[in-house]
Amino acid sequence: MARILIVEDERTDQLLLYSIFEGSGHEIHVAYDGDHAFKTYLSSNIQVVITDLYMPNVDGLELIEALFGVDPEAAIIAVSGKGAALLAQALDMGVLAAFSKPVDPEELLEAVENAASSK
């Protein structure tokens, strides 16, 4: 069982991502922006972060940079509906995987399982 943090500002997308892991035995945390996510990561011993890249306030790329700043081994998966350029940038920053929305549930679950087993 892994502690997973879903970072997504859109409520509908939060629920969709949450539903992928519901019943999988993982402990799920949800944050609505990068600032909230960073605080949750530090306080909840999160093992895998799934973050949207386009969010208000602190966006996903800023969050990725902040997380790697405190934990260079952070297991981060990026998702975005705003294009391949943001996903490529996230991959260049060191995320483990990047997915375009809508996300394939099986592929995301597999990526999270792989990330959790490496932590």
* Domain range 3-118, its CATH number among 3.30.200.20, 3.40.50.2300, 1.10.10.10, 1.10.3720.10: 3.40.50.2300
Mean pLDDT of the chain: 94
Residues 6+ apart with CB under 8 A from 71: 41
pLDDT band, very low/low/confident/very high, at 119 (cuts 50, 70, 90): low
Q: Which ranges of 1-119 would DSSP assign to H, the alpha helix?
A: 11-21, 34-44, 60-70, 84-93, 105-118
Write down how long the chain is: 119
50's enclosing H/E stretch is strand 48-52
User: What is the per-residue pLDDT across 41-67, written as a single tens digit (0 to 9) for each?
Assistant: 999 999 999 999 999 888 999 999 999
| Average pLDDT value for residue range 21-40 | 92
User: Is residue 50 within 8 Å of 16, Cβ to Cβ?
Assistant: no
